[in-house]
Amino acid sequence: MRKRRAAAAAKSAGVDGMLVTHLPDVRYLCGFTGSNGALVLVGGRAMLFTDGRYTGQAKAEAVGTKVVIATKPAVVAACEWMAAASVRRCGFDAANTTVAGLETMRKALRSGASAARARRGMFVAVGPLVARMREVKDAEEIARMRKAARVGCELFEGMLTYLEAGLTEAQVAATLEYAARLAGAEGMSFDTIVASGVRSALPHGRATGAKLPKRGFVTLDFGVILDGYCSDMTRTVHMGKAMPGERDVYHSVLEAQEAAVAAVAPGVTAGEVDEAARSVLRRVKLDKYFSHSTGHGVGLEIHEGPRLAAKQKQVLEQGMVITIEPGVYMPGRFGLRIEDMVLVTAKGGEVLTPSVKAWIEL
């Protein structure tokens, strides 16, 4: 089904074959989860090229796709096969193909064609066709993402009884990741962020040996991978009593976050959602401390389209799963971020990560 849609999209783009090498795209289209694979779509046929490590796995996973175990690099074998099949115009994704990779593909497509043949095939950038398909999740994907998001929430709630001053950020990350594994996670979506005290002012503060303070913020930003799909959420809690200003800033970020969630609906542009968050912070003169975009799509990869940033014209569609994650970072003082995963529904946005967002003092 997905392969047929991709092949149809390729045909519309004016090519008679398509080479898919970006592994999340390969997985999305044919189910194969290995670390080396090239998928060819030609005239209703789908062929997966991989290597001897994946003989059994490829056949088990890529049901309905012919599997070829190549002794050459998979992409070379795929191109030579296309040449032999007389593919004239082969589509590829310029955003996920390196300049050197394209050169290799071109050579293989030429060398695979018989010398006698007058016309040889060529590669044509067809845009991120598969990436665009992946932005809108189907029912099965949404079910998996709900589950991943729910596991994320359970992990966060477990953290609330565990966090205490004196633990290192690394210990917190270790405990969170251990619990994630036991909950069935295949891995984490990205390096777990635990940013405490003055380090909370770093938007991307990976867990370090720094100790959680007696008084100050702790930002937890993490995600699990479950059945291939990523979750992503952020909560910021406060150790001990708030210091002057902290509570006000927290509530401004929360208001911005909730305004952006409320703005989510099919037909709304990504830029409008970003502006919903940014305008709240502008009103209280905190916008200059909101130094990143409001969110991004999420799925098989932690960062997918659409991009929710200022002035982005892309229109949200039902079935997209996005993050909404405004934050405020005051260098040398403190910072915080609040993030949900949100499913775009027919009516608006459904938060997939319903963990409490109210001010928490531990």
DSSP string covering 251-265? HHHHHHHHHHHHH--
Looking at 103, 138, 164, 361, which residue binds a copy of itself (CB under 8 A)? 103
For residue 206, list its beta bridge partners. 193
Determine if 173 is a binding residue for a copy of itself (CB under 8 A): yes
Determine if 314 is a binding residue for a copy of itself (CB under 8 A): no
Residue 106: CB minimum distance to a copy of itself, A: 11
Looking at 240, 245, 267, 331, which residue binds a copy of itself (CB under 8 A)? 331
Determine if 52 is a binding residue for a copy of itself (CB under 8 A): yes
Place of tokens 């777990």: 192
In this structure, are residues 168 and 210 in contact, taking their beta carbons and an 8 Å threshold? Answer: yes
Q: Residues 155, 160, 161, 167: is their CA dihedral positive or negative?
A: positive
Looking at 23, 26, 50, 51, which residue binds a copy of itself (CB under 8 A)? 51
Looking at 85, 102, 136, 360, which residue binds a copy of itself (CB under 8 A)? 102
Q: Is 346 exposed, middle or buried (0-12, 13-18, 19+ CB in 10 A)?
A: exposed
Distances (CA, A) of 186 to 85, 105, 322: 38, 32, 21
DSSP classification of residue 250: H
Based on CB atoms, which residue is closest to a copy of itself, 170 or 265? Answer: 170
Determine if 187 is a binding residue for a copy of itself (CB under 8 A): yes
Determine if 186 is a binding residue for a copy of itself (CB under 8 A): yes
Distances (CA, A) of 238 to 134, 243, 253, 328: 37, 10, 14, 15
* Touching a copy of itself, residues 59-98 (CB under 8 A): 92, 94-98
Distance CA 303, CA 296 (A): 6
Determine if 248 is a binding residue for a copy of itself (CB under 8 A): no
Residue 170: CB minimum distance to a copy of itself, A: 6
Determine if 160 is a binding residue for a copy of itself (CB under 8 A): no
Determine if 191 is a binding residue for a copy of itself (CB under 8 A): yes
Based on CB atoms, which residue is closest to a copy of itself, 170 or 268? Answer: 170
Q: Which amino acid is located at 214 in the chain? A: K
Determine if 279 is a binding residue for a copy of itself (CB under 8 A): no
Based on CB atoms, which residue is closest to a copy of itself, 263 or 308? Answer: 308
Q: 306 preceded by cis ω (within 30°)?
A: yes
Distance CA 73, CA 91 (A): 19
Give residues with Cβ within 8 angstroms of 103, minimum separation 6: none
Q: What is the largest CA-CA distance in the chain?
A: 80
Number of residues that bind a copy of itself (CB under 8 A): 45
Residue 94: CB minimum distance to a copy of itself, A: 4
Place of tokens 């970020």: 253
Tell me which stretch binds a copy of itself (CB under 8 A): 46-54, 243-251, 340-348, 352-360: 46-54
Determine if 300 is a binding residue for a copy of itself (CB under 8 A): no
Segment holding 137, helix H or strand E: none
Determine if 351 is a binding residue for a copy of itself (CB under 8 A): no
Q: Is 40 exposed, middle or buried (0-12, 13-18, 19+ CB in 10 A)?
A: buried
Determine if 34 is a binding residue for a copy of itself (CB under 8 A): yes
- Binding stretches for a copy of itself (CB under 8 A): 34-35, 51-57, 92, 94-103, 125, 170-171, 173-175, 177-178, 181-182, 184, 186-187, 191, 201-204, 206-207, 209, 291-292, 329, 331
